[in-house]
Amino acid sequence: MIRDFITRLYVQVQLFIQRKEAASGIEYAIVAAMVAVVIIGYSTDISTKIGNVFKGISNGLGT
């Protein structure tokens, strides 16, 4: 699911960059900000899940 989203996002960014009419720096900044928001949104969710995995391992080992 995440891989498909990132692939689609990458393709859209490439198409956006390759357009014949020039895009302004503001448009590039907006795209970069949207990508950053998506990455931050997923990273907090992923870090929570990874932390839970390590807690489970720690509890399983009895430490």
Q: How far apart are CA 27 and CA 41, in angstroms?
A: 21
Q: What is the mean pLDDT of the chain?
A: 79
pTM score, two decimals? 0.40
CB of 16 closer than 8 Å to CB of 23: yes
Q: What percent of the chain has a predicted confidence (pLDDT) above 90? A: 0
Q: How far apart are CA 5 and CA 53, in angstroms?
A: 24
Taking each helix axis as running N to C, give the angle between helix 25-61 and helix 2-18, from 0 to 180 degrees, rounded to the nearest 10. 160
The pLDDT value recorded for residue 63 is 59
Q: How far apart are CA 40 and CA 33, in angstroms?
A: 10
